[in-house]
Copies of this chain bind each other. A is one copy, B any other.
Amino acid sequence: MPEKLDDVARLAGVSAATVSRALRGVPGVADRTRSRVLAAAAELGYAISPAASSLATGRTGTVGVIVPYVDRWYFSRIISGVERVLRDAGISLLLYNLGDNPGRARFFAGLPLRRRVDAVLVLSLPLTEVERELLLGLDAPLVTIGTEELGADSVGIDDHGAAATAMRHLVQLGHREIAFIGERDPIPLGFTTPLRRLAAYREVYHQVCREDGREPEAAFETAGGFTVAGGERAMSGLLGLPRRPTAVFAASDEMAFGALRTLRRAGLRVPEDVSVLGFDNHDLADLLELSTVAQPVAELGERAGRLLLARLSGGKIATSPAILGTRLVLRGSTAPRSPR
């Protein structure tokens, strides 16, 4: 394993420089020489030292991926997607999980990926101005998923539009009292996705209220922390309200799952008593008969991966955000509002 370039050079009867050129496939090496070198390298089981190469070239063959969570469905799917395309291109993936706010602060203070990566991908994490500058200061291409940042390519979905479509579906079913389970300020890691979905909820719900000539119920906007447990709690709160919603729109399937559970425990039927609509099309949404907004999660990752590769090879690419499509998936958890 401690083979070096010179060993290969000696065996092939050429200079180290030629071996380097041959191994990297750069033009300007005679075919015969190249194959001789390749044979020698294979014979020795030679593999290049990334550190030395990186020191000499400044490139690392590695991309840094910054995530707020790795063990949530949405994030693990995306990571899987980018990993696949990077791997196919021979790029390694360095994973950085922020963890929590102190962890995030530590990350940006230490910036452990500095000089370790050729490009950076940030998942669903709106950056502060300082953070963005720090990342751009790495002078490596920056790509984001789910957010848009100055100086970065981005891929995402139309959160607002998708959420509005979902809400309109509920309205068409006759629902007027619609609650929202999502997230409000202060937002854990600064996510804006929930806010965009909340905004769409509000627009549609408030419009309905205007039509009905009544005040929107502020307590219908609840926080579920994007977890099953949070969704459960939020739904419990809603059930305690004097005026109960007949439909609930959750900003993630996990929270919708929690809502389903609370409803079942409370002896309420879905969708007869309450309609529930989620967001994501989680693997288990189908199993739980949850109507939801499907977003192409793995594809977001792949798309971002390809963007990274394009930037790495210096490709001049469209800088406008790539917006992937979503679609409403109707299952058994939504139905026309039943007369009270």
A contact residues vs B (CB 8 Å cutoff): 1, 47-52, 54-55, 60, 62, 69-73, 75-77, 79-80, 83-84, 87, 90, 92-97, 99, 103, 110-116, 137-139, 228, 257-258, 260-261, 283-284, 286-288, 298
Contact = CB atoms under 8 A, between A and B. Distances in A.
B84 A76 contact: no
A90 B114 CA distance: 13
Nearest to A65: B95
A84 B97 contact: yes
A96 B116 CA distance: 17
Contacts of A48: 115
Contact of A287 (B90, B112, B228): B228
Given A49-B115, A258-B287, A87 B92 contact: no
Given A55-B55, A92-B96, A94-B94, 11 more contacts: A1-B114, A47-B114, A47-B115, A50-B116, A51-B51, A51-B115, A70-B79, A70-B80, A90-B112, A92-B94, A92-B116
Contacts of A54: 51
A56 to B, nearest CB: 9
Nearest to A58: B51
A235 to B, nearest CB: 12
Contacts of A111: 47
A117 to B, nearest CB: 10
Copies of this protein chain in the complex:
2
A7 to B, nearest CB: 15
B84 A283 contact: no
Nearest to A93: B95
Contacts of A97: 80, 83-84, 87
A66 to B, nearest CB: 12
A60 B79 CA distance: 23
Contacts of A287: 228, 257-258, 260-261, 288
A122 B83 CA distance: 17
Contacts of A257: 284, 287
Contact of A99 (B84, B96, B260): B84
A138 B1 contact: yes
A69 B60 contact: no
A49 B60 CA distance: 11
Contact of A76 (B76, B96, B288): B76
A75 to B, nearest CB: 8
A99 B76 contact: no
17 contacts: A1-B114, A50-B115, A50-B116, A51-B52, A62-B94, A70-B76, A71-B73, A71-B79, A71-B80, A76-B76, A83-B95, A93-B96, A94-B94, A94-B95, A228-B284, A261-B287, A287-B288
